[in-house]
Structure 1
C-alpha cells in the first residue's frame, strides 16, 4: 500500500528540546538568582534537573503523576537536591518555564528542508506526549504549524504513547490507515515501541547511534536521510 500519512514526534525529533530547554533554564537560573542560594553554576543545576525531570516524566507517562504536579515537582525536587526547600520558588520557576520555553525556536538540523520536501507528497501530522497548550505554541513560534494537518496530543487522545490508544486515535482523527502510515520519532519506548506494537512502519531517528534491538523499519542518523527513504 502506498504511504500517504507521516506521523512525526515533535520534541527531539523536529523541535530541539535540549537546546531550547537549556537556554530557558539558564535564563531562569539567573532571573531567580540561584547562585545566591548556593547553586554555583547553571550547568550544575541543569544537570540535576534533567535527571529528575526524566524520572518525573516517566511517572507522568505511567499515570503516577498529574500534569500539574509534574510541573512543580521536577523543580521542587531539583531545589531540594541543593538543600533549598522552597515550593513557592519551584511553582514560579515551573510556571515561567512552561510559558517561555515553548517560545524558543531552535529546531533539529534539517527540519525545515525535510518538511518542505515532503509536504507536496504526504499528509503530515504530529503525535506527541507533550502538553496540549505547550506543543501548539512550539509549532507556531517555530513556524512549523503550516506543515501539519493534525496535531494529536496525549491529552486529546486520552492516552500517552506508547499506548495503542494514542496511535489508534491518531489514525481515526486523520483518516489514515496502518498500511499507509509511518511513525517518525527519536524515542524507542514511546515512538518506536508504540508503532511496532500496533503494526505501523516506523523510522527511528537515532542521531546518537544508540544500541537497541527493536525491529525498526528504517533507522537514520540525520533527518535528511528520510528524504531518500520516502521519495
Structure 2
C-alpha cells in the first residue's frame, strides 16, 4: 500500500529462523561437551527449550539480567539431568553465544520477499529485543544486512519491546513517523501490542497458527504474503 514508507521487522522468529538455528548450535555443543549425559540430544534439547523460554519470559519482564539468563538456562537444564557443573554451564553459555549467530537458516521466502520490497522502494529497518553483539552477526552472516537501513536493538535503547521508548527511538533513527510505518513480527505482546500502543499498523507473522487475543492490522502465515499487503 502506498500509505507506508518504512517497514520495521522483528528479527528472531520472523526472518531469522531462531528455532532451527538454535537447535543446530545446541547439537554442536551436545556433541562436543555433553556426551557424558545419560540422555539423547532430543531430550536435552526439549529440556533446554523449556528452561530457556522461562528465562526469556523473566528477562522480558525485567526480572532477570542478560547474564543470569545466559548461564541459568544451561545450568538449570543440566541440573534436570543430575549434572550440576557450574564451570561447564559457563562454557556452554559462552560457546552458544559464539556459535548460534553464525547459523544462517531463514524462514521461507525471506530473501525473495525482501528483494521485492526493496524494489518497491520501501525503507526497511530492524527492531529487536535480541542482544546487541549477536544480532548484527546474524544479519551479516545470513545475508540480511544489506536490506536494512537501521538496526535498533533493545540494548542500545535501554528498553525492550513492547515499551514505547524503543519504537520512539526507531522513528528517530529512521526519520519517520508511525502513520507511514508498519511493524512486522511474530510476538503478539512485544511486536503487535507494542506497535498498536504506539500508533503503528502491524503485520502478525503467524506461521504456526498461534491463537490470538488481539486483532492485528494484518495476519500472515508466510512471508511472501507481504506482497499482497505491500
TM-score range (shorter-chain normalised) is: over 0.9
Q: Matches of residues 107-146 of structure 1 in structure 2 within 5 Å?
A: 107-120=106-119, 121-146=121-146
Query: CA shift at 1:63, angstroms?
Result: 1.5
| Residue matched to 1:62 | 61
| Residue matched to 1:8 | 9
Alpha-carbon distance in structure 2 between the residues aligned to 1:65 and 1:227: 39
Alpha-carbon distance in structure 2 between the residues aligned to 1:188 and 1:30: 35
CA offset digits 1:150-184 (Å, max 9, x no partner): 00000011100111111111111111101000000
8 Å contact from structure 1 (residues 157, 170) kept in 2:
no
- Aligned Cα RMSD in Å? 1.0
| Residue matched to 2:77 | 78
Alpha-carbon distance in structure 1 between the residues aligned to 2:66 and 2:151: 19
Alpha-carbon distance in structure 1 between the residues aligned to 2:36 and 2:67: 28
Alpha-carbon distance in structure 2 between the residues aligned to 1:81 and 1:197: 40
Normalising by structure 2, we get a TM-score of 0.97
CA offset digits 1:34-87 (Å, max 9, x no partner): 23232x210100101101101111111122111112111110010111111111
Q: Matches of residues 35-184 of structure 1 in structure 2 within 5 Å?
A: 35-38=35-38, 40-120=39-119, 121-184=121-184
SS at match of 1:193: helix
Over 3 Å counting, the alpha-carbon distance change for 1:208 and 1:37 in structure 2 is closer
Structure 2 residue 218 is the aligned partner of structure 1 residue 208: no
Query: CA shift at 1:144, angstroms?
Result: 0.8
SS at match of 2:152: strand
8 Å contact from structure 1 (residues 6, 122) kept in 2:
yes
Query: CA shift at 1:124, angstroms?
Result: 0.2
Query: CA shift at 1:213, angstroms?
Result: 2.5
SS at match of 1:6: strand
Structure 1 segments of 4 or more deviating over 6 A? none
Alpha-carbon distance in structure 1 between the residues aligned to 2:184 and 2:82: 41
Query: CA shift at 1:139, angstroms?
Result: 0.3
Query: CA shift at 1:5, angstroms?
Result: 0.2
Query: CA shift at 1:94, angstroms?
Result: 0.8
| Residue matched to 1:22 | 23
8 Å contact from structure 1 (residues 6, 125) kept in 2:
yes
Count, aligned residues: 228
SS at match of 1:92: helix
Query: CA shift at 1:96, angstroms?
Result: 0.5
Any unmatched runs of 5+ in structure 2? Answer: none
CA offset digits 1:6-60 (Å, max 9, x no partner): 000000100011111111101100100x23232x210100101101101111111
Any unmatched runs of 5+ in structure 1? Answer: none
